[in-house]
Structure 1
Amino acid sequence: MLILVAGLALFLGVHSLQVVPGLRTRLRTGLGATTYKLIYTVLSLVGLGLLIYGKIIAHPPVAIWAPPEWSRHLAFLVVPLSLILLVSAYAPGHIRRIVRHPMLASVVLWSGAHFLANGELSAMLLFGGFFVWSSITYISACLRETPPPVVKGWGGDLTAIVLGALLALIIINVHMYLFGVAIIG
């Protein structure tokens, strides 16, 4: 469990630099842009690796609670929406303008749904950590940045909806093979 926690701390810690006003800019200036990006990338990848490995070896699972059946149904509805938000982060449109930071909102929904649907300690640490981090970072980002400009047309939104739905269908079919949990059945 310590490896999972260390991975979470490293991965989310590196990704929290923008929450502290001016810290990322000072680091980039002090280290140089290329060195900063290299260190940021290496620390992120090491954190992600520790996080994944820590989750894999967190056996036998320690059950904290038995999630109610509705929490799995909720995740089944919310996760596709989070995937649409994830895609909309890269497609200028009305969704991006309204949500402002759709990738962070996507992580809030994804992690919150998974947190409610999982009752074992390692899953609660993983998804709870991402939920707390993304919620704080989303609020911080909304407070410090202005909304993106108004976009004409609905092409970006339609792209986000179609690609997000396709991504959801793919995940439904591979979730069991990747994570050992069947979404349907």
Structure 2
Amino acid sequence: MTILVCGLALFLAIHLVPSFSGFRQKLVEHLGFNGYRGLFTLASFAGLIAIIYGFQAAWLADYLPLYTPPNWGRHVAMFLMLPVFPFFVSVYMKGNITRIIKHPMINAVKLWAVAHLFANGEPYSVALFGSFLVWAVIVRISLAKRDRANPPSTDYPNAIRNDVISVLVGLGIYGLFVWKLHAILIGVPIVA
């Protein structure tokens, strides 16, 4: 599980850098924008690879669960996952979802993490989903402070059209994950 924890630390730490604008600005001044972006990308990729490899290794090691999820936990997880993909799509199709939810990607990560904590009690699952939940809460607080200081524009042309597209595409992706993609990509079928 050490590789998983190191990957999470690297991936989430590098994704916290933008929350600290002064630190980020110093890095950009020192490395240049392209250097900063290259370092960000490389560190993110290395962290992601370590997370995937570490999670798989921990899964194969078959740790005892920290807690046994309730029988209904899987149903709660499926329900909580319903808006996750529409939220992700709405990041690129800005409309009323973005206006109301504010930061849909961060909120999608929080829902994804909580949903999976209802369905998984193994230490590696708790480390993965719990870490992402903590990260998303920290980033959301940071973004709320930034938004109060500098309110973002909420004038989105074609808002209703974009919302409809976000919901339809997002629910389509959700359906694919429930049907087959989760089993193919993660190795765990949702519907047996």
Corresponding residue for residue 127 of structure 1: 129
Distance 1:62 1:179 in 2: 20
Corresponding residue for residue 9 of structure 1: 9
1:73 to 72, 75, 82: 75
Distance 1:62 1:156 in 2: 45
Q: Tell me by how many angstroms 1:177 deviates.
A: 2.4
1:168 aligns with 2:174: yes
Distance 2:138 2:75 in 1: 26
Worse-matched range after superposition: 64-73 or 173-182: 173-182
Instruction: Say if 1:100 and 1:148, in contact at 8 Å, map to a contact too.
Output: no
Q: What secondary structure sits across from 2:82 in the alignment?
A: helix
Corresponding residue for residue 93 of structure 1: 95
After superposition, the C-alpha distances for 1:96-128 in whole angstroms (9 at most, x for unaligned) are 111111111110000111112101000010000
2:154 to 149, 163, 170: 149
Distance 2:15 2:39 in 1: 12
TM-align CA RMSD: 1.2
Q: What secondary structure sits across from 2:72 in the alignment?
A: helix
Distance 1:19 1:92 in 2: 22
Q: Tell me by how many angstroms 1:150 deviates.
A: 2.6
Calculate percent identity across the aligned residue pairs: 37
* Shift >4 Å, 4+ stretches: none
Q: What secondary structure sits across from 1:126 in the alignment?
A: helix
After superposition, the C-alpha distances for 1:52-100 in whole angstroms (9 at most, x for unaligned) are 0000000122311110022211110111211111110111101011111
Q: Tell me by how many angstroms 1:140 deviates.
A: 1.2
Instruction: Say if 1:94 and 1:150, in contact at 8 Å, map to a contact too.
Output: no
After superposition, the C-alpha distances for 1:2-59 in whole angstroms (9 at most, x for unaligned) are 0000000000000001222421122112210111111110000000000100000001
Instruction: Say if 1:104 and 1:138, in contact at 8 Å, map to a contact too.
Output: yes
